[in-house]
Amino acid sequence: MGLFTPTAGWVADEHRMFADAVSRVYADELAPNIEKWIDQGMVDRAFWEKAGAQGIMGGSVPEAYGGAGGGLGFDAIAIYEQGAVGDCGWGYTIQSIVLHYLLTYGSEEQKQRWVPGLVSGERVAAIAMTEPGCGSDLQAVKTTAEKDGNHYRINGSKTFITNGQTADLIVVVAKTDKTAGAKGVSLIVVETDEVEGFRRGRNLKKLGMKANDTSELFFEDVKVPQTNLLGAEEGQGFYQLMRQLPWERLAIAITALGNIDFALAETIRYVQERKAFGKRVMDFQNTRFKLAEMKTKAEVLRAFVNDCIARAEAGTLDAATASMAKYWGTETQNEVMHECLQLFGGYGFMMEYPIARLYADARVQMIYGGTNEIMKELIARSIDV
């Protein structure tokens, strides 16, 4: 089916070539390893390096830092094609998000130091926002970063951190001024192989996305140079987060679309082959109507996602529109997984069929990146002005 709509104005020949190349890499190197990575609870570092060698993570990164110099559309393609092979385990979406924090807010020295290793897959990134008890409320973080000479000392804990077990470069959301509310939040980069006092908790056991390592992180007097602050001054963190969250939320919607396309293809193949009461399951009117409904929802989402990608490429994707994409995309994803699993009958409940995994993987999409309830609140604020 593919990410692109026939009328998607942002798509050029290089995007189609990139999509073809990425889909081949995923078919050869990612899809065959999904079950293995689920069993071990994380993706092999070797795959990160293979993806880097193939240029998958550098499409939107300037050539000066090891990338191809394109726009966000290349990241969108890499994210979609991952979903379209039925995978949610590889944490590339977070890598993309962190890359754009660094490219947007990092100093030249920071970009030269950190970006090439993320593009090549030699380094894995995470962003440590969520804390026990604060969820989507980023203003309520309790992790602190206090000045100590020309360093910061970071203290606090984070939870539900994607890539948490493997990341060696972590953007930490911390309070540099505990009295200033949102204006006291800063983003500080921690290189885990160069600090003391940093500790990873357990690899959390989850309902779905089991190949995606997700961890608790602990910071106990972690000492990092003040030059690891993202931005020219302290207190910019909340603004930086709000400016970058639209891309994160669109990326979640793109994943939803990829998974929907994979699930529909798997379900169509199954109902064409499976027989009941002497005829194909596909030949029952209920099956055909359900598939018609799901295909329509997929195409409506595809058109909206392509419009949002065009806005992201142009730098005009606003918070409310990205929230709509995240909310609508993930709700649609969960509806489609529910209906697809039903068409598999009892086999849909068996983990040997990918639809069971996709059904479980879909649920968290309505929670992370800001819950869908938060998305509705953000959309409502854009109406009530």
Residue with tokens 């002497």: 278
Give the model's pLDDT for residue 9: 96
Kindly report the average pLDDT of the chain as a whole number.
Answer: 96
- In the prediction, which pLDDT does 325 show? 98
Residues 9-31, mean pLDDT to the nearest whole number: 98
Dist CA 2 CA 165 (whole Å):
32
First to last CA, the chain: 39
Positive or negative: CA dihedral 13, 14, 19, 21: positive
Mean pLDDT to the nearest integer, 288-307? 98
Q: Evaluate if residue 83 carries a pLDDT over 70.
A: yes
Per-residue pLDDT at 136: 62
Q: What confidence category does residue 137 fall into, taking pLDDT thresholds of 50, 70 and 90?
A: confident
Cα separation, 29 vs 26, whole angstroms: 5
pLDDT in tens, 325-349: 999 999 999 999 999 999 999 999 9
Cα–Cα distance, 60 to 193 (Å, whole number): 27
C-alpha to C-alpha distance for 280 and 303, rounded to whole angstroms: 32
Q: Is the pLDDT of residue 1 over 80?
A: no
User: Strand 125-128 and strand 169-175: pairing?
Assistant: parallel
What is the per-residue pLDDT for 140?
83
* Per-residue pLDDT at 36: 98
Ranges of beta strands (E only) in the chain are 125-128, 144-148, 151-162, 169-175, 185-191, 198-203, 214-225, 275-276, 279-280
Q: Convert the pLDDT of each residue in 207-231 to its tens digit.
A: 999 999 999 999 999 999 999 999 9
Q: Which pLDDT band, with edges at 50, 70 and 90, does 134 fall under?
A: confident
Using CA atoms, how far residue 152 sits from 78, 86, 337, 372, in Å, is 36, 42, 46, 35
Mean pLDDT of 59-77: 98
Q: Are 5 and 306 in contact (CB under 8 A)?
A: yes
Rg over CA atoms, the chain = 21
Judge whether residue 246 has pLDDT over 70: yes
Question: What tokens appear for 363 in the block?
Answer: 């649920």
Rounded CA separation 219/63 (Å): 34
Give the integer Cα–Cα distance in Å for 265 and 334.
Answer: 16
Where do the domains of the chain lie, and which CATH numbers do they carry? 13-123 (1.10.540.10), 126-234 (2.40.110.10), 239-383 (1.20.140.10)
Whether the Cβ atoms of residue 155 and residue 143 lie closer than 8 Å to each other: yes
Q: Which residues are catalytic?
A: 248
Q: How far is it, in rounded angstroms, from Cα 366 to Cα 374?
A: 10
